[in-house]
Chains A and B, each alone.
Chain A
Amino acid sequence: MLNGFMKKFSGKKSSKETAKKRLQFALVYDKLEINEMTLESLQKDIIEVISKYFEIDTKSLQLEVQRERDHELSALVFNTPILCVKKNKAYNAQKI
């Protein structure tokens, strides 16, 4: 009991949190047979494309693979706050 509190206050991650994170990653990677490097480089590419149109907060964005058990489907979920639209780009895109 005390142990649990100590860990909470010291801010150290408990071993089960580490286990959970590792498992969640491992299962996604197993299913898609991709590795962390592929995801990272995908993330870089996506940021590059989106940045043409939007000012985004690159620090708080998240790229996640979510699993849907019943359908055996995985969804790529990209979450990012938009700071503002880059005006001229959006305009150019409209013209085309």
Chain B
Amino acid sequence: MEGKIIVVTSGKGGVGKTTATASIGAALALEGNRVAVIDMDIGLRNLDIVLGLENRIVFNIVDVVNKRCNLSQALIRDRRIENLFLVPASQSDNKDVLTTLGVQRLAKQLKSEFNYVIMDSPAGIEKGFENSVVAADEAIVVCTPDVSSIKDADRVIGLLYARSITPRLIVNRIIPEMVVRGDMLSHEDVMDILSIDLLGLVPMDDQVVISTNTGVPLVMQNQSLAGQAFRRIAKRINGETDLPIQVPTMKTGIWSKITQKLGLTK
């Protein structure tokens, strides 16, 4: 097998990298792929808790890279979603314990065992970022429609281009009401400014918080609009390149509220 390594990055913190990694990873597995999600945020591990796998950690990525265990020992298999695996970050080390060489060696092994390897990068553009992108075949940049997030995304896009990676963009936490009012940049505005290809648009959604509260992957909640957006993103990554990008719209009518609750709106 010769899988693909995709890094999820953003520059700015708290824009939804971990949410995106967990959701896209889970959705790609639901599509029938063998998927590994890797938490590269050494010292601030989160991906395990977002996915509800925190109780099952024995070894972590630093153990694997430093050969204290085999890859298979560090891989946590998700029991709800077939073919989804997690390599957790270490909580005690700092970001400098990994070397790019060590990461590259691990990446090679991961590629031979998985269709998709999704790397959740830490915020920032220092060592942790370096380690996350060093083995990447593709990159996803996540931003929110606010000025500082877009500015940081622009910086990161430049760094990725310098490595000959052409990233694709996810705009997260879109609030349609504010876009209509003219108080939030629309995805067209963001595209104008960043001029890169769009991979998907994800609305602000209470279900994201609920999903992380319970540790149930967002894409398993059928009524979640953000979850649906991530499933479409995964399909697009998985070769359905014609799948149109849906723009989040205001859902105010009573009928759409009901169908949303029942999970009928797709």
Chain A complexes with chain B: yes
Among A7, A22, A26, A72, point to the contact of B158 (Cβ < 8 A): A72
In contact, A4 and B182 (Cβ under 8 angstroms): yes
List of B residues within 8 angstroms of A22 by Cβ:
147
Q: What range describes how many residues of B lie at the interface?
A: 20 to 34
Q: Is B186 engaged at the interface, CB distance under 8 Å to the other chain?
A: yes
CB contacts (< 8 Å) of B161 on chain A: these are: 69-70, 72
Residues of B with C-beta under 8 A to A67? 195
Q: Give Cα A30–Cα B162 distance, bound, in whole angstroms.
A: 17
A7 adjacent to B182 (CB under 8 Å) = yes
Interface core residue of B158, B180, B196 (most chain A CB under 10 Å): B158
How many chain A residues touch B (CB < 8 A): the figure is 21
Instruction: Indicate if the CB atoms of B195 and A69 lie closer than 8 Å.
Output: yes
In the assembly, what is the distance between CA of A23 and CA of B147, in Å? Answer: 7
A15 to B183, Cβ gap below 8 A? yes
Contact A27 B181 (CB under 8 A): no
**Binary contact track B141-160/A, C-beta < 8 Å → 1, others 0:** 00000110011001101100
How many Å lie between the Cα of A30 and that of B155 in the bound state? 9
Is the beta-carbon distance between B182 and A27 smaller than 8 angstroms?
no
A20 touches B185 (CB 8 A): yes
- Can you list 8 A-B pairs, Cβ within 8 angstroms, ordered by A? A1-B180, A4-B180, A16-B189, A22-B147, A23-B193, A27-B151, A30-B151, A69-B161
